[in-house]
Amino acid sequence: MTPPLDTVFAALADPTRRAILAMLLEDDMAVTDVAEPFEMSLAAISKHLMILTKAGLISQEKRGRVKWCKLEPDALRDASIWMQGFGQFEAVNLDAFEAFLATELRD
């Protein structure tokens, strides 16, 4: 079942979560590696990851004693289709999305 659009857009509304998604564009990452560049507790990062997971934007799995995060880009499909309904937006291009996130995170 696909998460409601409100859940996806709410997850994307936070700059920390968008930064996490940008990091996961490169490759799967351990939770501790995701947390490393942020000046917040591991518990706070875990809350962000839980929101991204509930929105279907990432998945998490335990490999041994390490919890790994993986980007689930198909979760943006419904949001993309919804935006296309306005006729002003094109389909989500992950390369363009990554460039957008990089620009936003520099500010």
Q: pLDDT (tens digit, 9 = 90+) per residue, 28-71?
A: 999 999 999 999 999 999 999 999 999 999 999 999 999 999 99
Q: Calculate mean pLDDT across residues 74-90.
A: 76
Q: For the chain, what's the residue count?
A: 107
CA angle, corner 20, sides to 70 and 39, nearest 5?
Answer: 130
In order of 7, 21, 45, 61, 99, the CA distances from 53 in angstroms are 10, 11, 12, 11, 23
> pTM surpassing 0.85?
no
Which candidate, 57, 61, 89, places its Cα nearest to that of 73? 57
Query: What is the distance between the alpha carbons of residues 2 and 90, in angstroms, rounded to a whole number?
Result: 21
